Every structure is written in structure tokens, then in C-alpha cells.
Structure 1
């Protein structure tokens, strides 16, 4: 006899299933098949959704906007942006450039990240009116794809002069070294002696920088198959090109109105990267624009030379207050944090260490002026050392990385006023009468409590008791003193005071408090 556990009835009659048994079995099979089919449909939908999501993630395009001078914060933002694009398996990273140039160390850090990127990198000078001057030109040449929007320009890649004692910058169009091809320019002196004279007029350091920069950008042009001769002229002669001229001279690969137009023109291209060929399918690809996070903003703030100099001064004065007044804690904590942040920012910048040493020396002289009787000599020397050090601090003329003269003047005036105010307060405090200790008793007025009699022996023979400053003291005098007589303290030996009588009627003078 067959049984169905899920049915709560008993079979009767012969050994054959009833109509009710057949209906229950069919219901059970239907529910089982429906559940299996639903599970398969859900599983297939999940697989399809995962596949489409992965495909969309792989097809995305990452845009990294760069505005302003290229420095440590910009380099960190671009390097992390390229790493983010590689982790997300993006098919293209677009660096949208608008920069007047920047620091050489930051530029080379960005170029290293571009050359080693597994994701194709397109440098796009945009929007209209933007530029990629100096360091931006190197970044464009290093990228897998170079593009410009209408109304933009690039070039002027000559290294800026370093330091205060550098030679004067060359005028645009004046070569800093003889042309590599040996050809003579029309309208220019044709003999080799004039070129040699032009070279001798420049410092060896400047020539080394220009030769190094020219070789660097020429190597990038060879790597990407772009115009090598113009790249070298951009370094040696500081020439520039518009978007149309750059396309005609094969300096850039294409002109595009905006990012969607750029992606439409790049669709179907195959780009060779550090990890092999990458095929682009950019038409309609999702665009993800990265924005600087808190770390980039923090680096951008502290690597401003003005902020770094102010942080360093706050740190020095905070530590000075803590050492001068132990136990305040807050000035020491704030000073230590500010000094460390300022030094961290300075090590990211091209700092002249002689200038940094002069700044520390000037602050030390100003602080010493508050404690030593130098009559302004240390203070004046500290002001001079601080001003010269601040002028020499940043060892570059890159726009946006200089310390302005008004800020130096303001900090100098503030430091001088602050130190001289502290010195005047200390001098006035030194001239005040002593109010505590043994010295405070000298000159105090007291009243004799009982008659001071003359013993038979002793140099100071008259001794007795007097009330001085509200306290009972044993006193001695060179002459007898009557009770109630006012006396002045002239010396102290332990608990014995030496007094002299005051002139006047003691009854007319009140007891001092």
C-alpha cells in the first residue's frame, strides 16, 4: 500500500491510488518544477546582471581634472587617479589639463606613472582658453594620446631659472644651445663663434638643465612617435603652438570639442601600453570624473610655501612659549604639530637649505633678544637673517611657488613687534620691587612692640620685638627704641631684623598693614 506523508487521510478499498491521491501528486510535481524553474530564472538573471555590470565597469572612462600649477598635491592626485583607473579596469584615463607649469620633481613623478600605467592615458588640454605650458607640455608628450580643445595652446617648456643668483632668462626665440641639426637660422649669425659666445654667457648649471630637459622631452617624443624637433625647440627656444598648429605639425594626435567628442574619435583605436595592446570601445562609454579628496586638499594647502612658512613660525614660537613657561602644554603641542607639518611640506618643495637655516637663525636671534641685554643687536640681526632666509627659501621661480614680499614683510614686522613687546614687559618686570623672599623685607616699616633695652655687651646692643608686615619679628638697633616707635628694616640675619628709627611722632603715624 502506497502512502503520502503530506496527506492526512487514510486510503480505503483496493490497492490503487484514489483520484485524490493523483491530484495531490500532480500538485506536488507542479510546485517542484515551478520552484526549480524560478530558481534557474533568478540565477540566470543574476549572472546576466553580473556580466553586464562587469562589462560596464570595464568600459568606463576615468577623467582626472588638473587645474593650476603642478606640485606635490597634483602629482599625488594624478598618480592615485591612475591607480584607481587600473583597479577598476577602466579602458581609458583622461587627464584634463589646464596648467601654467610646475615643479620638475612632481612632473617626473606624473610621467613615471603614465609610462607604467596599464590603462591608456589621454592628455586633453581643455576647456577652451586652457594651456599646457612648461611641465604640462612634457606630460602631453608622455601620454599615449595627446588632444587639444579649440582655443588652447601648449609649449614654452624651457626650464625656469633657479636660485637668486641665476643668469637672466633668455628672450623667446633665442636658442640656449646650438641647434642639434647644425642648420643655420635665417637672419641669425652664421658662424659657430657666435653660438659659442652665447653658450659662454650662460652658467654651466643652466646649460645642464636645458640639455637634460631637451633630451628628456625628445625621448618622450620618440616613444610616442610625435614631432621631436618641435619638442626640442619648445625647450630651447620656449616656442608655443595653438591647437590647430599642433595638430598640423603632429605634436598632438587630434582636436576635440569636449570629452564625449574625444571619446567618439578614439573609438576603435588600439593603444600600446606597458602591459600590451588595449583596444578602445569608447562610444557611449560611461564617464567617471574624479575629484580631489581630503588628502589632495590637505597637501595642496600645506605645500603652499606661504602656509609652510607660517606653520614653521607658529611651531617655533609655540615651542618658545612652552620652554619659557613649562606646564602650559597647549603652546608646546600646537607648536610641535605645526613645526612638523611645516617641515614635512618643505621637504616636498624645492627648498634652499641655506635660506631655511637663516630663517631658524633669525628666529633664534629674535628670541634671544628677549632675554639677553644686547640692546637690540641680536634683534636687528635676527630681522635681517629672517628676511634674507625667506627670500632664499623656495629655490624656484615656478608660478605659484614663490614667497611674496608682502608676506615676508608682514611676518618680519609681526615677529619684531612681538619680540620687542615681550622684551619690554620683561624689562618692566625686572625694575619692579621685590615682593617675596628675604629681599622683600628690606625697607619695610614696622612698630616696636616693647622697649628695646641696652644689654651690657655686643656691637648691636639694643634688641627687642616689633611688628613688621603684620608679623612679630625680633629686631635689633644701634640705639634704644621706645615701645610704639616706628622703625625701618635695613637688613636681615635669619630671623633677626636690623632696624633704624624713623623720624617723627609715632603717635601720628599708623601701623602699616
Structure 2
């Protein structure tokens, strides 16, 4: 009976659901006050930290707090950003939130050493105020880094028609954003078409950003009194000097979702899920591998909704897992195991459909995870196959082939002693008391024996 396993799985699911509801409730309680409390909360500077790849989780987090700051009448929203890029859909969601905001939004690429690459370039240019810290850089916004693909049409390196369409669309988009904010549209288009990247000082000189500031306080002091035109047509004079600063951090739920949306983490979770489910299917009743494998696989599938997944690669990985399971029931002397290994390898390589390094699985993660998963799974297949051919060492079947002595004369029935136990026995012919015997078969509580040697 496997009802205990199902109860354990449902129990874990219930705990996850309760935890998610609690996280949502906590998130609601921690949310900024509504517009009805403007008299006590208006005039603050809201800082939203964007660190890492732009994905649906970070986009939802950013959009939510931009809207909340707008509702509460904040003086300014600052997106403190350090990103290597991300998904086009997530980037556009943040830009739409900036454009719909009734509060000015400033993007600040900081601290020193940070970057606003790919999707970060679009967000910076789309902001009402664009600033960078010394030692930062911006650019490299070619759309293959945003949408994946980028296959070339021939050996001369000519772009495919699809890539050309994507590049033209991205170029027009970033040019329109730059022109709307009065920034250098010519360089913005070159950042898309030629993947150009420049330092903070060059960006200021070329009119890509508004200013270079060494710290958040310096930024707020520098833009105090600046007039900013919002997308609703209203002109706002920034009043940021000596304003209280409020940092909006991700809730624990958002942090967890953001972590598992990392391609490396998603891949590791998927492999753990496959190995765990494999052990549970091959050895029903272990329970723990099934629970861990199920939870890991569900988290991995959620993460894949936020990533540019190549479904052919995903199917190859699932096929590899199926081949390993089939090998247990249909021994093929390692052929199915070899096929499963090749399928897993090809699927792992093809899984992420993006040329953006921020959205790819690192080789330092892919290779060790793949090797460990294959070794564990193949080892389990080998042990299962080997154990299937071993002689039983317990139970009634273990008596077959065992040696004993005739406890009484068999003609043809009598009794024998095997393993210190007396058994009713039958033989062909006659066996005298005390003669050595060997067990040939077992029929209920009677053993069939013959003379040994």
C-alpha cells in the first residue's frame, strides 16, 4: 500500500500552500501605505534594488513598488541597478511601469563595478533621470541578448530575416525611448545594432545619461530642483534634498522565486527532481526521494516558465530519464543507459534558448551536475541489475541449493536438517540417516532433496 506516500506528498503540498499564503499575507502587510495615507508617507524617496538578471520575478517586484510609490505620492523612485541583461518581456514590463508612473523614476547604475547591459540599457534610457556611479558601464543591448536566437543566414555572417526583424524592432524601440527623454538616440541605436558599451564618464559626455554620482546621497542632492516631464504630460520639480530614504526589498517569497529563476538553479533542481523520482519509481516505498524529487521538479518547472526554454532540449532531458527507468525493467546490457546519457547531455546543452550569458547555464554548473546525475542514475541501474541475479539469502527461496543431512531415513519421505532446522523431505530413491543432502526445490513446507556429492 502506498497511501502513506501519498499522504506525505499531500502534506508537503499543504505546507507549501500555507507557506505561500503566509508569505503573501506578510507581503501585503509590508507593502507601502496606500494613497489615503499621503499625509504621513508622502515626500519620501523610494529605492528599489535590481541586482541580477531581469526576469518576471524582478519585473513584478519592480512594477509593484513603482505603482505603490505612485499611489503614496513619493517624491522619487530610484532603481538602483546592476544587471547583465534579461528577458525582453520582463524589461518591457518595467519600462511600462516607469511610463505609467505619476512619480519620477530615476535609474542609478551603482555601486562602482556595476553595469546596465542589454535590458538594463533600455531601462536606464527609459527612466526620467538616468545616472551612473563612477566605474560602471552601459550598453551591449543587441536583441539576441534579450530574446535568444540570432542564427546567421549563411557563412558570410549575414543575419537571418528573423534576426533582422528583431534588431530593427529593438532599434526602433530604444530610439523612441531615447528621443522621448532627450537622450542620444544615435548611440542608443548603435548599442543595439553594434553592441557598443561605454563607461559612465563617456555616457555622460555623449548625452546617454544625465549625470555621474558617487553615491545615492550625491545623486539626490544633484537632481534637487530639476524639472522632469512625466509621461502623463505633467512637469514635476524634483524635491529630493534631505528627504527620507526608504528601501523596498523583496519579500522572502520573492527572493526564493528570484533565486530559483536563475538558470543554474533551475537546472540543478530539475536534475535533482529527475534523480529523486527515478529512485522512487525504481524502489517504491523509499518516500523521501519521491518527495524531494517531486518538490524539486515542480520548482524547476515553475522556473522554466520564466526562462527562454528550448522545449526540444527539455523533451530530450525527460526522454533520458525515461530511458534510465526502462533499463531497470528491460535489461539491454547498457544500451538504454547509454542512450539516456546522450539524451541528457544534448538536452542539457540545448535547454536554454538564449545567447545572453546571464540567461544561460554556466558550464561550471552544467558539467558537474550532469556527470553526478548520470553516475548516480547509472550506478543505481547497475546495482539493480546486479542484485536481480544474486541468490536469495533470506526466506524460503534461500533453502534451494543449501546442504544439510538426513535427520531420518528417507524412503522416499522422511526428515532432513538444513540450517539447524528440521524439514519434511522427499527424494527419489532412498537416503539413509546421516547422509549429506542438498535441497533441490521447495513445495510449501516440504523440501525435495537429493544426495550431495
User: What TM-score range do you get, normalising by the shorter chain?
Assistant: 0.7 to 0.9
Selected match of 2:130 from 105, 121, 146: 146
Q: Secondary structure at the match of 2:330?
A: coil
The answer to whether 1:219 aligns with 2:176 is: yes
1:438/1:273 Cα in 2 relative to 1: closer, same or farther (>3 Å)?
Answer: same
Residue 498 of structure 1 is matched in structure 2 by 448
Residue 281 of structure 1 is matched in structure 2 by 239
Bigger mean CA offset, 268-277 vs 400-409? 268-277
Aligned equivalents of 1:82, 1:69: Cα separation in 2: 19
**RMSD after superposition:** 3.2
| Shift of residue 339, structure 1, vs aligned partner | 0.7
Bigger mean CA offset, 301-310 vs 94-103? 94-103
Alignment of 1:78-157 (within 5 A): 78-157=62-141
Bigger mean CA offset, 134-143 vs 413-422? 413-422
| Shift of residue 90, structure 1, vs aligned partner | 0.6
| Shift of residue 380, structure 1, vs aligned partner | 1.6
Residue 341 of structure 1 is matched in structure 2 by 299
1:259/1:420 Cα in 2 relative to 1: closer, same or farther (>3 Å)?
Answer: closer
The answer to whether 1:251 aligns with 2:208 is: yes
Residue 4 of structure 2 is matched in structure 1 by none
Residue 42 of structure 2 is matched in structure 1 by 58
Alignment of 1:394-405 (within 5 A): 394-405=352-363
CA displacement 1:180-214 (0-9 Å, x = unmatched): xxxxxxxxxxxxxxxxx98x921112111101101
Q: Secondary structure at the match of 1:400?
A: helix
CA displacement 1:75-109 (0-9 Å, x = unmatched): 23322331332343212101123333332222112
Residue 429 of structure 2 is matched in structure 1 by 479
Residue 350 of structure 2 is matched in structure 1 by 392
TM-score by length of 2: 0.80
Say which one has the larger Rg. 1
Residue 391 of structure 2 is matched in structure 1 by 433
| Shift of residue 237, structure 1, vs aligned partner | 2.6
Selected match of 2:151 from 137, 142, 166: 166
Aligned equivalents of 1:470, 1:159: Cα separation in 2: 80
Q: Secondary structure at the match of 2:242?
A: coil
1:486/1:409 Cα in 2 relative to 1: closer, same or farther (>3 Å)?
Answer: same
The answer to whether 1:464 aligns with 2:414 is: yes
Alignment of 1:66-85 (within 5 A): 66-85=50-69
Residue 376 of structure 2 is matched in structure 1 by 418
Residue 5 of structure 1 is matched in structure 2 by none
Aligned equivalents of 1:226, 1:288: Cα separation in 2: 29
Q: Secondary structure at the match of 2:167?
A: helix
1:499/1:316 Cα in 2 relative to 1: closer, same or farther (>3 Å)?
Answer: same
Selected match of 2:327 from 343, 348, 369: 369
Residue 267 of structure 1 is matched in structure 2 by 224
1:493/1:396 Cα in 2 relative to 1: closer, same or farther (>3 Å)?
Answer: closer
The answer to whether 1:229 aligns with 2:213 is: no
1:242/1:445 Cα in 2 relative to 1: closer, same or farther (>3 Å)?
Answer: closer
Residue 9 of structure 2 is matched in structure 1 by none
| Shift of residue 71, structure 1, vs aligned partner | 3.0
Q: Contact 2:276/2:293 (CA < 8 Å) preserved in 1? A: yes
Structure 2 unaligned residues grouped into runs of 5+: 1-36
Which structure is higher in helix share? Answer: 2
Q: Secondary structure at the match of 1:59?
A: coil
Count, aligned residues: 415
TM-score by length of 1: 0.72
Residue 378 of structure 1 is matched in structure 2 by 336
| Shift of residue 384, structure 1, vs aligned partner | 1.4
Aligned equivalents of 1:242, 1:413: Cα separation in 2: 40
CA displacement 1:309-333 (0-9 Å, x = unmatched): 1111111121222223333322211
Bigger mean CA offset, 107-116 vs 462-471? 462-471
Q: Contact 2:150/2:160 (CA < 8 Å) preserved in 1? A: no
Structure 1 unaligned residues grouped into runs of 5+: 1-52, 170-196, 454-461, 504-513
1:324/1:224 Cα in 2 relative to 1: closer, same or farther (>3 Å)?
Answer: same
Aligned equivalents of 1:152, 1:450: Cα separation in 2: 95
Aligned equivalents of 2:248, 2:296: Cα separation in 1: 30
1:340/1:502 Cα in 2 relative to 1: closer, same or farther (>3 Å)?
Answer: closer
